[in-house]
Structure 1
């Protein structure tokens, strides 16, 4: 049995359609009543969108109900599914804490409330029944003011046991006018030993080389091998890993066919750039991480050697995996020790 590490999963997009629908029926009938039945809701929730911007609007629907009180409900079901159905040993959940605070509060009050959200997510993620190593990545956001994004970085430093890194999310076209802000915030994070990733080079509108030196991993990054392969040498030299989320690119209209990803993987492998396969928004896509691997394999995008390389890279680049080895090596060592004891009669 393979065990997986998931490095790029959004809390807002991780809720599977059936769980979200049941929550709406029980707690938000005003939202459930927009749809005639579950089938209509599932189609609305999971169908591909024309652009990244249209796709991101779905996050606002989920964020509006992921309140302090509701987060444990969603996270328990998320962790349970990750353990039982996906064989996850490690999971990094990313989200923008500001968007889980009450909208009725002032900006200052919402910033002050962000710490409690982090604590709620941290407690809810620790499920002894489903032992998945789980940490948070806090997302700055292209739609939020500098003060909120700065507070997000500062909170990441204050909660090192629960938060393993920061990210920047939101529509990537919106980064352009605020690059100096994000460069400053990422520099601050690195100076405080906060690990960094960022949604970058996902679409052709999101290509900002100014941010690359500050990232330890690159959220998506597919436009580097597709449109800017000259950057691969620098990416490899920095030891950066690309977080590739295959289904996303068809949900957002970024790519047309899965065969286009073959060039992404081939060029990365040839350049010595590590790739971690991820789901991004497993609920919105109605897909699980093992399927992403299987689909890439059966569609001849990668082979078994590439699959194993990506599995290993995910654990190697995990910001908070607590062991020197990935699970398969640990299990193999345990089995060899057991065989030794059996042979020796111990």
Structure 2
């Protein structure tokens, strides 16, 4: 029984189409009025987009319904699917807590509510019947002001029981005009002892070598081996890991074919740079993590030895993973049906 670690999954894109459809039908029928039947909604939700920005617009639809009250509903179903269908032993969920607070409130009021969102997500993720080690990565966002992004970093440092690191999201093409600001925030995060990752070198417009020294992992990073392979020795020296999400690049129009990833894997393995295979937005893609591994294998992008190396790298670079939680120990507890959760769980709301 293979166990997997998922290091790059967005909460906003993690809801599979069928679960989202059922929620909309029961609670937000206005969001499904233009779809006659479910098949049309699934096609709209999972179809490829022309650009990353167009793809990210789907996040806003889900973010609008992932509130303090509804998050337990979505997370329970996410954790159940991750355990039953994906054999996940470890999961990092990333999201921007500010975007789960009510838009009608003032900025300061929304900042104050972020801690409650983090607590709700943390408690809802601790489900004894699905023994997955889980933690959160809080995302700063390119569309949010400095004050909000700094508050997100501060919140990450204040809640180590739930949060294992910080990220920067919102499309890497939009960082350029605020690059000094984002570097300052990452420097601040590292000074607080926080783990760091960031969406970088995903697209041809998102290449900022100035940010690399502040990151422990790189969200996507595929343009480094494709366009800037001279940076690979630096990544290997600094033990930075790429979080590669194969299906994403086909959905966003970043790559035309999955076969283009062969150069990514070959060059990284040759240079000694680790790769963790991830899903990014499993719901938007309607895929599971084991499928990403299988797809790369069956398309001759990687071999079995490389597959195992990527599995190992995911556990090795997991921000909230310890030696005591190594895969063989977790497997024994899973097979015995034991829970690895010490904190209590939030049951899904009976109203949803």
**TM-score (norm. length: structure 2):** 0.93
Using the alignment, how far apart are the partners of 1:37 and 1:181 within structure 2? 46
Show the counterpart of 1:302: 302
Using the alignment, how far apart are the partners of 1:65 and 1:198 within structure 2? 25
Aligned structure 1 segments of 4 or more residues deviating by more than 6 angstroms: none
Given that 1:2 and 1:328 are in contact with CA atoms closer than 8 Å, whether structure 2 keeps it comes out as no
Show the counterpart of 1:342: none
Given that 2:89 and 2:330 are in contact with CA atoms closer than 8 Å, whether structure 1 keeps it comes out as no
Using the alignment, how far apart are the partners of 1:195 and 1:216 within structure 2? 7
In the TM superposition, residue 173 of structure 1 has moved relative to its aligned partner by 1.3
Show the counterpart of 1:237: 237
Given that 1:90 and 1:133 are in contact with CA atoms closer than 8 Å, whether structure 2 keeps it comes out as yes
- Is 1:54 paired with 2:59? no
Root-mean-square deviation over aligned CA pairs: 1.5
Q: Which stretches in structure 2 are left out of the alignment for 5+ residues?
A: 336-352
SS at match of 1:218: strand
In the TM superposition, residue 325 of structure 1 has moved relative to its aligned partner by 6.3
Using the alignment, how far apart are the partners of 1:114 and 1:36 within structure 2? 36
SS at match of 1:259: helix
Bigger RCO (CA 8 Å, 6+ sep): 2
Given that 2:71 and 2:121 are in contact with CA atoms closer than 8 Å, whether structure 1 keeps it comes out as yes
Using the alignment, how far apart are the partners of 1:330 and 1:110 within structure 2? 38
Using the alignment, how far apart are the partners of 2:261 and 2:325 within structure 1? 28
In the TM superposition, residue 323 of structure 1 has moved relative to its aligned partner by 2.6
Using the alignment, how far apart are the partners of 1:32 and 1:102 within structure 2? 22
SS at match of 2:135: strand
SS at match of 2:292: helix
Given that 2:6 and 2:314 are in contact with CA atoms closer than 8 Å, whether structure 1 keeps it comes out as yes
SS at match of 2:175: helix
SS at match of 2:258: coil
- Is 1:278 paired with 2:282? no
1:109-124 matches, cutoff 5 A: 109-124=109-124
Show the counterpart of 2:83: 83
In the TM superposition, residue 129 of structure 1 has moved relative to its aligned partner by 0.7
Aligned pairs, number: 335
Using the alignment, how far apart are the partners of 2:328 and 2:229 within structure 1? 33
Show the counterpart of 2:287: 287
**TM-score (norm. length: structure 1):** 0.95
- CA deviation profile, 1:272-309 (whole Å, cap 9, x unmatched): 00000000000000000000000100110000000000
Show the counterpart of 2:164: 164
Which has the larger displacement, 275-284 or 323-332? 323-332
Given that 1:248 and 1:285 are in contact with CA atoms closer than 8 Å, whether structure 2 keeps it comes out as yes
Show the counterpart of 2:183: 183
Show the counterpart of 2:131: 131
Residues 331, 55 of structure 1: alpha-carbon distance in 2 compared, 3 angstrom cutoff: closer
Q: Which stretches in structure 1 are left out of the alignment for 5+ residues?
A: 336-346
